[in-house]
Structure 1
Amino acid sequence: MKKISILIPCYNEVENVELMAMAVTNVINEALSNYDYEIVFIDNCSTDGTRDKLEEICAKNKKVKAIFNVTNFGQFNSPFHGMCQTTGDCTISMCCDFQDPVEMIPRLVEEWEKGHKVVSCIKTSSKESGILYFLRSCYYKLIKGMSSVRMIEHFTGFGLYDKTFISILRQLDDPIPFLRGIVAEYASGFNMIEIEYTQARRRAGKTKNNFYSLYDAAMLSITSYTKVGLRIATLLGFFSSVVSLFIAMLYLILKLVNWYGFQAGYAPLIIGVFLIGSIQLFFIGLLGEYILNINTRVIHRPLVVEEKRLNFDENREE
């Protein structure tokens, strides 16, 4: 009997975890009763009672497992680590807030049985804020145009991954894994298929996304999968130096030709200082993001440090 793993990352989802476990269990029992399954929650150090709720769920159903992190390891490391701990023939990763439709699980398994080892779910529309969806669209098009890897627009990580692809993830040894980029880079060799869906509103609780988390995701993708930022800095710096040299020579010639009559004033000097200064500060910041990415990889801390596991086989290799 084939086994399906459902990986559900969570952070402060006390209102959703129990209903999520029930919804997934019901879908599998009704539509996929000929499959074995496990539901793996990985909790990113919740503080709202989510862990107590998970302990209750795991005590009632041994097919529901949980991993408790010692602290919050971020929106990328925790789900990636959880996927690497699953034991099924395929793993379906989905959010705990019901924005990823539970009803799509049978469709994902159906595509998997047809031979597609990676099934990526693509948002065609969303019931979230229209402005936020528009900004996401702009970001995806920007990163897609800048990256040498064919990035997948409106792909959040929700999808199905065969155990052969999961084994690739385990081998990567990446301290800051960006799953969306990894899927875009490697999944084409796994007969990947894309299926569309409409993202629902969060069922309960507050979204954990804010400006910082979205900025962090954008910078991780840019610094991990593009060289364009550094190339633009080099080319713009060269262009600025040429223009500056030309203007300096022009002013020198005009001053020599008409020493007493030529009065440039402070305007060119002020404009030049602020323009060049702003360009320098922008690209120093961008360069800092690349250095931060390199520094994190060099330090190579573990993806996640676990505090406790529930319902896992203690003899299983990790």
Structure 2
Amino acid sequence: MKHITVVTPCYNEEENVEGIHEEVRRIFASIPTVTYDHLFIDNCSTDSTVSKLRAIAANDESVSVIVNARNFGHIRSPMHGLLQARGDAVILLVADFQDPPELIVTFVEKWLAGAPIVVGVKPEAKESAVFFALRRAYYRMVTRIANVRLIQNFTGFGLYDRKVIEILRKIDDPYPYFRGLICEIGFEVVQIPYVQPRRKRGISKNNFYTLFDIAMLGITSHSKVPLRLATIAGFAMGTLSLLVSIAYLILKLLFWNKFTFGSAPLLIGLFFFASVQLFFTGLLGEYVGAILTYVMKRPLVIERERIGGVIPAAEERDVPQWERQGEAN
């Protein structure tokens, strides 16, 4: 039978890890056509999440846990978990129940029917109307400027065939925008819509910085349009400034005693152009920072320990199954 690995990233989710484990086990008990294992990757939680995961792994041989040496962020840790999964397909499922686990049944059905990628998209969400509107506006903006067709309202929740995971492994991006990489690969993507519920227990670990980080990563990873806009805007504003200067010179020459320049236009122009320069300098800095991160090639995470025996042993870490078979032959 086909085997599936469920990867659940978590950080300070002591109120949810037991519930998500039970729900996943219940769902796969209703799918007799596949086997599964459940891999949790903990991003150095400061609450009792790890101790609860340790107890779960001790009582359920299908559960394994990776504990990071420190908090490596919400981008690197999930990707590392995906690359460590051993299944014929991998399902990425967060621990907070905002991605409905019951969609796993549909994901598996579509995958067994031949779809290499099956993802959940959330055209609706039970959250602040203003916040959701901002999310949708961002997705639309990024989709329009990206050099590939991105999936709107997609957070990473979905099922990915083993060949997709191996391609992601070869890409070897140290700070990957996972949602965009899935589209870069070019395989057919089956989209399953759902309404995202409110978080039932605990609080979200996302803040303004983490949301801004992933928003800028999505732009810098898949579009050069902002850089081109900066060039066009600089040319346009330079031309406009020249025309205004010429107009002021002509008016001054024609009406020398009556026309006064005043300090207001100088101050307004100074602050306007300074703010535009700061904006585009910051934008350029985002691209330079992305290049620096890629060039440094640091590992996605450093592991502190592995709990459970389902995931590969230490000597097999980060080595694809097909590569290990090649070495054996």
Short-chain TM bin: over 0.9
Q: Which residue of 2 aligns with 1:90?
A: 89
* 1:207 equivalent in structure 2: 204
Cα deviation, 1:263-310, whole Å, max 9, x if unaligned, reads: 211122122112211111111111111111111112221111111111
Aligned to 1:134: 133
Which letter maps to 1:303? L
What residue identity is the alignment partner of 1:112? Answer: W
Rounded Cα–Cα distance in structure 1 between residues aligned with 2:42 and 2:271? 47
| Partner AA of 2:316 in structure 1 | R
Q: One-letter code of the match for 1:277?
A: A
2:12 is aligned to: 12
Q: What's the secondary structure of 1:102's corresponding residue?
A: coil
Q: Distance in 1 between matches of 2:317 and 2:244?
A: 67
Unmatched runs of 5 consecutive residues or more in structure 1: none
Deviation track 1:220-252 (CA, whole Å, cap 9, x = no partner) reads 011111111111111111011111111222222
Task: Verify: 1:46 aligned to 2:23, yes or no.
Answer: no
- The DSSP-based 3-state class of the residue aligned with 1:152 is coil
Q: Which residue pairs with 2:111 in the alignment? A: 112
Letter in 1 for 2:17: V
Aligned equivalents of 1:270, 1:6: Cα separation in 2: 59
What SS does the corresponding residue of 2:205 show, helix, strand or coil? coil
Aligned length: 315
| 2:270 alignment partner in structure 1 | 273
Task: State the match for 1:192 in structure 2.
Answer: 189
Question: Paired residue for 2:324?
Answer: none
Write the distance in 2 (CA, Å) between the matches of 1:313 and 1:235.
51
Question: Which residue number corresponds to residue 80 of structure 1?
Answer: 79
The AA in structure 2 aligned to 1:247 is: V
The letter for the 1-side match of 2:200 is R
Q: How does 1:238-317 map to 2 (within 5 A)?
A: 238-311=235-308, 312-314=311-313, 316-317=316-317
3-state secondary structure, aligned to 2:6:
strand
Query: Could you tell me which residue of structure 2 aligns to residue 230 of structure 1?
Result: 227
- Alpha-carbon shift at residue 140 of structure 1 (Å): 0.4
Give 1:203 shift.
2.4
User: What displacement does 1:32 show?
Assistant: 1.3
TM-score, normalisation: structure 1: 0.96
Higher mean alpha-carbon deviation, 116-125 vs 306-315, is at 306-315
Checking the alignment, whether the CA contact within 8 Å between 2:4 and 2:87 is kept in structure 1 is: yes
Partner-residue secondary structure (3-state), 2:184: helix
Amino acid at match of 1:25: R
Cα distance between partner residues in 2 of 1:258 and 1:200: 67
Q: CA deviation at 1:207?
A: 0.5
Identity %: 47
Tell me the secondary structure at the aligned position of residue 157 of structure 1. Answer: strand
Q: Matched residues in 2 for 1:47 and 1:194: separation? A: 35
Letter of the 1:72 counterpart: N
Aligned to 2:172: 173
3-state SS in 2 of match to 1:12: coil
Following superposition of structure 1 onto structure 2, how do residues 11-30 of structure 1 map, counting pairs within 5 Å?
Answer: 11-29=11-29
CA shift in 2, pair 1:251/1:302, >3 Å? same
Deviations 1:135-171 (A, max 9, x none): 1101101111111211111000000000010111111
Shift of 1:259: 3.4
**CA drift at 1:256:** 3.2
Q: Is the Cα–Cα contact under 8 Å of residues 89 and 162 in structure 2 kept in the other structure?
A: yes
Which residue is 1:216 aligned to? Answer: 213
Superposition RMSD in Å: 1.3
**TM-superposed deviation, 1:253:** 2.8
Cα distance in 2, alignment partners of residues 224 and 280 from structure 1? 22
Shift of 1:33: 2.7
In structure 2, what is the Cα distance between the partners aligned to 1:268 and 1:128? 44
Alpha carbons 1:16, 1:203 under 8 Å: kept: no
Change (3 A) 1:313 1:241: closer
| Contact 2:84/2:317, CA 8 A, preserved across alignment | no
User: How far apart are the structure 1 equivalents of 2:195 and 2:176?
Assistant: 26
Distance 1:7 1:109 in 2: 15
Tell me the equivalent position of 1:55: 54
TM-score (norm 2): 0.92
One-letter amino acid of the structure 2 residue matched with residue 250 of structure 1: A
